[in-house]
A and B are shown apart, each in its own frame.
Chain A
Amino acid sequence: MLIKIPKSYDLKESDVTPEAVYLNRRELLKGMGFLGAGALLATASANANAGWFSKDEPRKFKTTPLKYTPDTNPDKLILTPESKVISHNNFYEFGAQKQQPQELAQNFNVNPWQLTIGGACDKPITLDYHDLSSMFPLEERIYRLRCVEAWSMVIPWIGFSLADLLKKVAPNASAKYVLFETLDDPEQMPGQANRRLGGGIAYPYVEGLRLDEAMNPLTLMSVGLYGKTLPPQNGAPIRLVVPWKYGFKSIKSIVSIKLVSQQPQTTWHKLAPKEYGFYANVNPEHDHPRWSQASERHITTGGLFARNRIKTLAFNGYGEQVAHLYKGMNLRRFF
């Protein structure tokens, strides 16, 4: 008979780190407030896809190719590389730091999905995952994206006009505004479950447009980018893109669109009404209280030495198509 006397250094079953804790060890480190070398190492490995922590590299979300009419890109806009578009995201549901959504959203489940369109309309409908990309012919739209934080990109979105969708539900006379809501699912969205990770904003995220803004042909419901379905960090399976407004208006992972009679209370506006207006039209002449909006850091290729500071355009360069919506309005008051 083998008699085993445990040595003082032998590990007991109870000493084993629970798997969930082990899998979350990077988050634990970050959670402890070590924003210094730890953050840098995490970044280095994530960026170089290095093998240091290769075992906990997230399982990659599968995107699929879409059929669409290509944009001829008449303005010859130079696209921001796909790798940057999908790794630099403000999607606080998956972490408030720019690289976190890519790291933390890869297991996000978008199928099945339900998007309900209702409120003040005659024919409310509910779309499922398959409907999102098959209900309307898809087209590519190459748009400038201007973040309220004064950086910008150029992104080839794929989708359909929100106007087409709204016409289907037949808005009635009391419909004046459109209210959008992101999925509320703390189990899938760690930022909703953890206040520090989620940046301390209220969930679910809500945004809104005036009905005429929503009906403008530029306003896009996007289901893809760079020829494929949206990655989760960019708002899969369906998101809004309003190219003449600051990026926070373009709400991601939408589950509800509602026609309403009153101007809705929107997430960032509620949090800091002096900093983020309901309209949030890109306006180089109206500064954010804490930084200038006159110019922007344009994200293309190149490291620190890229000469990428450019002047910000009124309505982000889409004045011709949308300035008439705001005729006679004081845009300093309704910022």
Chain B
Amino acid sequence: MKRKTSTANKVFMLKVVIHLAAFLPLFNLYYLAFNDLLGADPVQRVIHFTGIGAFNLLLLTLTVSPLAKKFKQGYLLPVRRLLGLYAFSYAFMHILNFLAFDLQFAWLLFFNEIVKRPYITVGMVAFVFLAALAITSVNLLKRKMGKSWQILHNFSYLITVLVSIHFYWSVKSELISPLFYFILTLILLAFRYKKIKALLFSIVKKK
């Protein structure tokens, strides 16, 4: 009984830390941006910050289960939902920044850009999947969906690959950071080598 409470405490503390570490930078960012304290072009800054922040959180989410497995700390697993939801929130702000502050709600241009620019298309597809995962993260839906929930949530691997392509494709010339992120993505997926291989086989078989 005592053991159980201490685990619950640990999870609680961890969640508090995640909330602070994910929310405070965002609060600080918009405080500076609204008050014109974020350099000459705050629009570019908020777009880049939330974009790279979403990617960081996504990779962090994928780090949890390998860590939990390696160190036999099963209690870590529940924080994946919180991290994933923050990744979604950052991605949502990333797109909202682009629409609201860069394009200033020129909806036609917004949709045109999504269709016309392959790197934005790829990013948007990743966001739609991420939104599907965020919506189905509530317990009620998870229970109702049964087995198909896990199938849907395996899309997190595809999302991460799409996001790394989106990042690589978006830069002007500096390729070292996108390559670094691409390698991180590959390492995290390598931990799931067997699972991903099985998933790919099952797709091929169905055809």
Report yes or no: A88 in contact with B41, Cβ–Cβ below 8 A: yes
Nearest CB to that of B169 among chain A residues? A290
Q: Which residues of A contact B113 (CB under 8 A)?
A: 291-292
Report yes or no: A35 in contact with B52, Cβ–Cβ below 8 A: yes
- Residues of chain A at interface, number, CB under 8 A: 45
Taken together as a complex, chains A and B put the C-alpha atoms of A304 and B37 apart, in Å, by 10
Taken together as a complex, chains A and B put the C-alpha atoms of A35 and B56 apart, in Å, by 9
Report yes or no: A43 in contact with B176, Cβ–Cβ below 8 A: no
Q: Which residues of B contact A201 (CB under 8 A)?
A: 173
Taken together as a complex, chains A and B put the C-alpha atoms of A290 and B113 apart, in Å, by 9
Q: Which residues of B contact A290 (CB under 8 A)?
A: 117, 119, 169-170
Q: Which residues of B contact A43 (CB under 8 A)?
A: 32, 38-39, 45
The number of chain B residues touching the other chain, given as a range, is 35 or more
Question: How does the 8 Å CB contact mask read for A287-330 relative to B, with 1 for contact and 0 for none?
Answer: 10111101101010111110101000000000000000000000
Report yes or no: B40 in contact with A303, Cβ–Cβ below 8 A: no
Q: Is there a chain A Cβ closer than 8 Å to B13's Cβ? A: no
With contacts A36-B56, A40-B25, A309-B104 known, is A299 near B119, CB below 8 A? Answer: no
Q: Is there a chain A Cβ closer than 8 Å to B83's Cβ? A: no
With contacts A36-B52, A98-B39 known, is A196 near B104, CB below 8 A? Answer: no
With contacts A96-B173, A292-B109 known, is A84 near B40, CB below 8 A? Answer: yes
Report yes or no: B174 in contact with A47, Cβ–Cβ below 8 A: no
Taken together as a complex, chains A and B put the C-alpha atoms of A107 and B45 apart, in Å, by 26
Give the secondary structure class of B's interface. helix
Taken together as a complex, chains A and B put the C-alpha atoms of A40 and B48 apart, in Å, by 11
- Among the listed B101, B102, B180, which residue makes an inter-chain contact with A33, where contact means beta carbons less than 8 Å apart? B180
Question: Would you give the shortest CB distance from B11 to chain A, in whole angstroms?
Answer: 23
Report yes or no: B173 in contact with A199, Cβ–Cβ below 8 A: yes
Within 8 A of B (CB), among A9-63: 33, 35-37, 39-40, 43-44, 47-48
Nearest CB to that of B176 among chain A residues? A196
- Among the listed A199, A272, A297, which residue makes an inter-chain contact with B43, where contact means beta carbons less than 8 Å apart? A297
Q: Is there a chain A Cβ closer than 8 Å to B5's Cβ? A: no
Question: Would you give the shortest CB distance from A309 to chain B, in whole angstroms?
Answer: 5
Question: Would you give the shortest CB distance from B95 to chain A, in whole angstroms?
Answer: 15
Q: Is there a chain B Cβ closer than 8 Å to A168's Cβ? A: no
| 18 A/B residue pairs, CB under 8 Å, sorted by A | A37-B21, A44-B32, A47-B38, A85-B40, A96-B174, A199-B173, A200-B174, A287-B116, A289-B117, A290-B169, A291-B117, A297-B41, A303-B34, A303-B42, A304-B30, A304-B33, A305-B34, A309-B104
The 8 closest A-B pairs by CB, nearest first: A88-B40, A84-B40, A303-B36, A199-B174, A196-B176, A304-B33, A309-B104, A35-B52
Name A's B-contacting residues (CB within 8 A). Answer: 33, 35-37, 39-40, 43-44, 47-48, 80, 83-85, 87-88, 92, 96, 98-99, 149, 151, 195-196, 199-201, 271-272, 287, 289-292, 294-295, 297, 299, 301-305, 307, 309
Name B's A-contacting residues (CB within 8 A). Answer: 21, 25, 28-30, 32-46, 49, 52-53, 56, 101-104, 106, 109, 112-113, 116-117, 119, 169-170, 172-177, 180
